[in-house]
């Protein structure tokens, strides 16, 4: 029994000892925990116990703090709001309360504490106290706050950006006079504005996802102009180009384009902006102006040549009149000489008259004076031949006329044209002249004349050829110059204006004339009148 008793006592003591040791260890464990303040409160909230963590976090030594109410760790405003009591109540009611918030250290500094208050219960489930575990999460809190602040900043910035982007989109979207589009790196259209629709004719849904090459002419696409412009923009940040572009309906406009490369923060190209303005009107005005300038220059040059040649050719007969009159004066007693010089004076005067007439004719050949009408060349030619009836029969000339077309022309001028050519063919002949006149349609590429004005695709070719004296091929162009003659005045009469008149008449008809010839083998004059496609 004793043994038993002893044994029992030993067991109890052992147990008690073991328990005490275990509690000790337990106490130690809690005491030594540094990262958590673990404190024990009585049911009123007064501090019973203190560990290293609590000292470390809150700055008080155990002796300073035991017996004090745990509300000393709270901010005055939290205390005033009754927060410590509320937390105790919550823990009392729910078994525990958790809370995060600013707490005060002994030195008055603050830390962000994360607390868990747990109610401790006695045998009868009554609350006998609380454990309070606090962790200093100041660093995490600060980091969190900073993150939150950054996030908030970002959110605000995004909001601003979104607003600005929307305004920007709206601004670009509603610009009407410029086509402003966004291309990806491959030139695929990403974005489209009202101006683009207005200028190019495509709606947004038709064009997004297509290549911007669609706006270029076939020949420009073939010579890879679109790619070249992108390449240039990649290299030099932007490329500027003016040229004809194609609308959806196939019509063309004169576009002035700036392609700008867009870069990301690392400098990689992420796409292109392409701003195009329709300068068709400006271009057409410029072209018209250029045409006027060109025409004026030509007129001026013509006038210069005219004044130069006229000063010479018109002076010549006058000078002769003076000289022969002078000679008559010096030879009053020589009737034969006087008669001879008087005749020379008359010849010179005649020449002067015909020169002045031709010059007048030439200067009257202005485009603006006469209107083009449907003109039957067959009829014109038969009228011209009637005028030459006497000469034709005198020279036993044969004139063969093939079927001739009806063309849009100035009747007086084509009359003059045929009149000059038939007149030349009759004049520059040795035997009986044979003159052939024929017509056919040719394409522009078949025309051998030197001319910069051939705009039509098809032309009426009118050929006038003779079997006369011809000319050296090297003079084929010169003969159309004003006052240009290939023969002495005493061999063949003439003013040197006839063929320049013909050339001017062909210019007035947007056509051209050129000649082929060989000495002794006759001359051929080819004239080309444009065939205009009249819109139905």
Query: Which residues of the chain form contacts with other proteins (CB under 8 A)?
Result: 308, 311-313, 315-316, 318-320, 322-324, 326-327, 330, 344, 348, 472, 475, 483-490
Give least dist CB 430 to other proteins, A. Answer: 18
DSSP assignment string, 383-451:
HHHHHTHHHHHHTT-EEEE----EEEE-HHHHHHHHHHHHHHHHHS-SSS-EEEEEEEEEEGGG--S--
Cβ–Cβ < 8 Å for 341, 523: no
Closer of 134 and 348 to other proteins (Cβ): 348
Q: What is the 3-state secondary structure (H, E, C) of 188-228?
A: EEEECCHHHHHHHCCCHHHHCCCEHHHHECHHHHHCCHHHH
Nearest to other proteins of 179, 348 (CB atom): 348
Nearer to other proteins, 359 or 462 (CB): 359
Return the HEC string of 326-353: HHHHHCCCCHHHHHHHHHHHHHHHHHHH
* Shortest CB 322 distance to other proteins, Å: 3
Name the minimum Å distance from CB 331 to other proteins: 11
Q: Residue holding tokens 């240009």?
A: 484
Strands 523-531 and 512-517: antiparallel
CA angle 48, 52, 56 (to 5 degrees): 110
- Which own/partner contact pairs does 404-408 have at CB distance under 8 Å and 24+ positions apart? 404/376, 404/377, 404/378, 404/437, 404/439, 404/462, 405/377, 405/439, 405/460, 406/374, 406/375, 406/376, 406/377, 407/374, 407/375, 407/377, 407/460, 407/529, 408/372, 408/373, 408/374, 408/375, 408/529, 408/532
Classify residue 73 by its DSSP letter. Answer: G
Taking the complex as a whole, the smallest distance from the CB of residue 313 to other proteins amounts, in Å, to: 7
Question: Distance (Å, rounded) from C-alpha 35 to C-alpha 63?
Answer: 20
Nearer of residues 304 and 394 to other proteins, judged by Cβ: 304
- Closer to other proteins at the Cβ: 394 or 472? 472
Q: How far is the CB of 348 from other proteins (least distance, A)?
A: 8
Q: Please name every residue paired with 528 in a beta bridge, in sequence order, or none if there are none.
A: 461, 512
| CB 272 to other proteins: min, Å | 56
Q: Which is nearer to other proteins, 248 or 489 (CB)?
A: 489
Radius of gyration of the chain (CA): 56
Residue 209 burial (C-beta neighbours within 10 Å; 0-12, 13-18, 19+):
exposed
In Å, how far from its chain's centre is CA 113? 64
Helix and strand tally (H, E) in the chain? 17, 16
User: Minimum CB separation from other proteins for residue 232, in Å?
Assistant: 48
The residue among 314 and 401 lying less far from other proteins, judged by its C-beta, is 314
Closest contact distance (angstroms) between CB of 306 and other proteins is: 14
C-beta closer to other proteins: residue 96 or 344: 344
Q: How far apart are CA 245 and CA 179, in angstroms?
A: 13
Which CB, 204 or 337, lies closer to other proteins? 337
Min separation Cβ 512 and other proteins, Å:
24
CB of 484 to other proteins, least distance (A): 8
Residue (452 or 474) nearer to other proteins, CB: 474
Task: Between 172 and 345, name the residue whose CB sits nearer to other proteins.
Answer: 345
Q: Shortest approach of other proteins to residue 397 CB, angstroms?
A: 25
CA distances from 420 to 128, 287, 311, 504 (A): 138, 35, 24, 12
């Amino acid at each position: 029994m004793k043994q038993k008793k002893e044994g029992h006592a030993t067991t109890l003591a052992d147990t008690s000892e073991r328990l005490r040791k275990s509690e000790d260890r337990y106490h130690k464990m809690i005491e030594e925990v540094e990262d958590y303040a673990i404190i024990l409160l009585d049911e009123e909230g007064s501090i019973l116990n203190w560990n290293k963590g609590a000292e470390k976090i809150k700055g008080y030594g155990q002796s300073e703090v035991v017996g004090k109410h745990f509300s000393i760790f709270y901010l005055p405003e939290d205390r005033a709001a009754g927060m410590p009591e509320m937390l105790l109540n919550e823990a009392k009611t729910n078994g525990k309360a958790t809370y995060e918030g600013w707490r005060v250290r002994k030195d008055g500094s603050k830390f962000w504490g994360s607390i868990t208050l747990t109610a401790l219960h006695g045998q009868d489930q009554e609350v006998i106290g609380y454990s309070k575990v606090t962790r200093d999460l100041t660093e995490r809190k600060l980091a969190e706050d900073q993150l939150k602040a950054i996030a908030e900043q970002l959110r605000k910035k995004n909001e601003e950006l979104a607003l600005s982007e929307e305004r920007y989109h709206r601004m670009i979207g509603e610009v009407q006079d410029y086509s402003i589009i966004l291309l990806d790196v491959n030139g695929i259209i990403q974005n489209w504005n009202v101006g683009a629709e207005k200028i190019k004719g495509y709606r947004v849904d038709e064009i997004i996802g297509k290549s911007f090459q669609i706006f270029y002419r076939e020949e420009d696409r073939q010579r890879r102009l679109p790619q070249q412009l992108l390449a240039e923009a990649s290299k030099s940040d932007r490329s500027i180009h003016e040229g004809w572009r194609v609308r959806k309906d196939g019509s063309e406009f004169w576009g002035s384009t700036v392609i700008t490369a867009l870069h990301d923060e690392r400098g990689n190209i992420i796409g292109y902006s392409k701003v195009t303005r329709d300068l068709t009107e400006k271009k057409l005005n410029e072209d018209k102006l250029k045409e006027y300038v060109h025409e004026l220059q030509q007129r001026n040059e013509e006038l210069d040549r005219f004044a130069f040649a006229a000063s010479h050719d018109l002076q010549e007969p006058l000078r002769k009149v003076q000289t022969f009159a002078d000679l008559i004066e010096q030879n009053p007693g020589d009737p034969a000489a006087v008669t001879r010089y008087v005749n020379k004076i008359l010849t010179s005067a005649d020449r002067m008259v015909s020169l002045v007439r031709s010059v007048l004719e030439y200067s009257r050949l202005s485009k603006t004076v006469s209107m083009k009408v449907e003109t039957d060349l067959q009829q014109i030619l038969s009228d011209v031949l009637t005028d030459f009836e006497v000469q034709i029969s005198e020279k036993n000339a044969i004139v063969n006329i093939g079927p001739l077309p009806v063309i849009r022309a100035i009747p007086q001028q084509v009359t003059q044209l045929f009149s000059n050519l038939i007149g030349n063919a009759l004049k520059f002949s040795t035997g009986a002249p044979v003159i052939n006149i024929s017509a056919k349609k040719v394409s522009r590429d078949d025309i051998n004349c030197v001319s910069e004005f051939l705009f039509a695709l098809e032309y009426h070719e009118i050929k006038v050829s003779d079997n006369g004296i011809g000319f050296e091929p090297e003079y084929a162009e010169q003969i159309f110059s004003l006052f240009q003659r290939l023969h002495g005045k005493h061999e063949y009469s003439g003013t040197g204006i006839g063929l320049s008149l013909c050339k001017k008449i062909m210019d007035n008809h947007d056509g051209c004339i050129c000649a082929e010839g060989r000495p002794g083998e006759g001359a051929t004059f080819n004239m080309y009148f444009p065939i205009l496609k009249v819109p139905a």
